[in-house]
Structures are given as structure tokens and as C-alpha cells.
Structure 1
Amino acid sequence: MQNNHIDYIEFKASDLEKIKSFYSSVFEWKFTDYGPTYTSFEGSGVAGGFEISENPTVNGALIVLYHENLKAVMEKIEAAGGSITRDIFAFPGGERFHFQDPGGNELAVWSDK
């Protein structure tokens, strides 16, 4: 893991079993479940996962960058004209937050520190 690199891609899905069946049968991806609302995948060339969502898919993917110091990068995002859309929260494996860039794209930054 390196600071400022894209580290993870997160998709939304309304049915995790259906999505796992699709990607495992078509692309031979392997899955690891983290509770009833989240599954991660491997074998795609980049790490990623699917989160349950009842909302219609708008962007299709959440790009997740890595940085060891979440508070420092949050300050840099806001200073450069971005906005924090979801404050730091914990998840299995670390913490992350979401932000919107000046173009309206939502991304996230995570850390295992």
C-alpha cells in the first residue's frame, strides 16, 4: 500500500448472492463476506468489494485511495476546494472517509493505521 494510490474499488449491489454468482461464473473472481451487507473480491487485478444498497446506482463505483494519515489528507482536500461527504468511520480492517472533488465526483480514502 502506498499513500495517494488507488487501492480499492467499491460497487453497489441490491443482491450480493446474485452479484457473486455473476462475477465468479463469468470472471472467476473469489469472494470474502464481511457480514450480510458486504463482500470483497479478488482476482480482478485490483482489490474491491460490493456493498448492499437499495438506492439506484448512479456512479457505479466508489474509488478508494489509501493514505496512512486520514486527518491530514482531509485537511488537504478541504483546502484544495473539495468537501467531506462522510466523516471518518471504522470498518473491518481500518477507517475511511468520503469526499467530493470540485467536479462532483465522490471518492474515499482509507487507512489501516
Structure 2
Amino acid sequence: MSRPVHFEIHASDPERAITFYATVFEWSFERWGTSPYWIVSTGDGPGIDGGLTQREGPEPAKDAPLNACPLTMDVDHLDPAIRNVEQAGGSVVEPRRAIPGVGWVAYCRDTEGNLFGLMENDPSAE
């Protein structure tokens, strides 16, 4: 069985994206070599680490529907996480909704237009 082992964020303005993800999720970034590529450390415990690179094409449309393969982050509390996203310059694309028996989810865009999810585990969600 194959499992995700790495993710990559493409950014028109890498420094702006680094600030966003460091602010919202407390991730750390380390430049890798001389190319515009940074190693992303997401913390200890379950999960994966990734990379951030200079975008080579156009930014995603800000009003595009949910039609990607978004990375979803586990958060302790969804509502404060949504506020952190908005305060850091991101936006909510799909507001909080229940996944019965699993938890609460919302979809957002970062400062670069990339789609991602936020998930609060809550088996009592309905």
C-alpha cells in the first residue's frame, strides 16, 4: 500500500508563504541548496514533512472550486485555526462543516492561492 511521504507548496512569493505557514501552523523552513527550495518541518509526532518552492506557472484562481488534492492539517480547535488563517492573510473557501462521527472540516486558501484543509477530530460531530 502506498502512503503520502512528502508534500510540496508552490508559491509566487516564497517569503510571504513561509511567513504564512510559520504564523498559522508554527512550521519551520530551511533553505535547501542554492535553488529556490525550502525544506518544511511540520513538527514532531504523526504526519509528514515537505517542501516549498518558487511557483513556475500562474497562481490558482481565487474563486476556483474545490477541485484539487488538498493537504489537510489536524488542528486541536477549528475555529481559532480559521481565525489564524484569516489574520495571516489567508481566506476560507468552504466554512466549517461536520463530518458525522469524525469531526469538523473547513477548506482555506493560503496567501499564494493554494487550497488546504483544516480538520478538528470530534467523534460526536453531526
Whichever structure has more strand as a proportion of its residues is 1
Give the structure-1-normalised TM-score.
0.48
TM-score by length of 2: 0.44
